[in-house]
Amino acid sequence: MSAMTAVAVEPFGLRWDGDSFEAGVLALGKELQRVPVDEVLAKANRVSKRKGAAGTGAFGPMSPKPVDWYCFDAGDNATREWYPQGLTCASDAGTGTGGSVFVVSWYHTPSSGAERGIRLSFLDTGSLRYRHVLLVTARADGNIVPINIHAGGVAWYEGLLYVADTTRGLRVFDLEHIYEIDGDDENTIGKKGGVHNAFGYRYVMPQTGAWISTGTARFSFAAIDRSTSPDTLISGEYVDTPGEFGRVARWPLTSAGSLRKGADGTAAALDAYRLPAARIQGALSYNGTWYLSQGAGSTKNGTLVVVGDTVKKRPYPVGPEDLTCVRDKKTVWSVSEFAGRRVVYGVPL
């Protein structure tokens, strides 16, 4: 296995689009109450378990075991209609919001009926409670519709959340725009008779912007590197074609949380690299070292590939996905995706 090698940054070009979302977000704000993320956490309605039994199935013969982990409730662990993919945390954000908070992205794959889009789980490890928030598109008439994409990685920086959209780039959501739904119909979404429903979710987050891909790159995962100057956002490609490896890139961030863009509204990647292995599900750089999660299917242990001066392979749980870093504890975290084995877990850097 070779180390990562530099490649052209041009395929990772991004163009800002914010104007097309403003009218919808403004209309929704006139009809629904806006709430802070602290309130979402305070009213979390699902119970997580620290170092629960569900984690042991994901870890398999892994040695050493994770230093800490959190399990979803029985329903979220077992469902085959929702799959967790992305993971980020308050350490990425740098805001201190909510203390030890993780955010997990999920995508919907219905066994029957219509798709219900994508959602985020806000997990407070202090209270061991979490709540799902549905991500939506808000229309200019105040209506809302689901966002039916894969929703790979998620990255949290300052007050913004970036969700990887495989072929289009990065979708942007602002934590200042979380709204409380005034209806409770679990089977419908949208506004009818002056009341909004969102498949039974209490809270929704409308998309506030997008970074649209101008090149050939794919956007499968996302992370934050706070050890660079300036801080950078990471995204890269999952590739499962024999003999082919994906790429990963980093973009400089502004103090307000956005990508740095030029006068033409485009953001150029700071650097880009060829990944040293296939089936990379998540990538994180920290203090000059790269950490890559590599999947191996639903029954075999994955691998944590660590690329510094040398390339090292460490045993990793089954079904590893996106990566995030809890810096004060010097741990790298991931989430496993497969039913019955879903866990948010951390290992030493």
pLDDT digit string, tens, across residues 60-91 = 888 788 999 999 999 999 999 999 999 999 99
| Domain of 249, in residue numbers | 5-348
What is the Rg, in whole angstroms, of the alpha carbon atoms belonging to the chain? Answer: 19
What the block records as the tokens of 166 is 């495989």
Count of CB atoms within 10 A of residue 143's CB?
Answer: 18
Q: Provide the 8-state DSSP code for 186.
A: T
Q: Is the pLDDT of residue 275 over 90?
A: yes
Closest C-alpha among 11, 146, 12, 160 to residue 82 = 146
pLDDT digit string, tens, across residues 281-339 = 999 999 999 999 999 999 999 999 999 989 999 999 999 999 999 998 899 999 999 99
Contact by Cβ (8 Å): 313, 293: no
Domain containing 62 — which CATH number?
2.120.10
Contact by Cβ (8 Å): 345, 57: no
How many domains are there within the chain? Answer: 1
- 3-state secondary structure at position 38: helix
Phi, psi for residue 102 in degrees, rounded to 5: -110, 150
Q: What is the pTM of this model?
A: 0.96
Q: Provide the 8-state DSSP code for 6.
A: E
In Å, how far from its chain's centre is CA 119?
A: 10
What the block records as the tokens of 33 is 């109450």
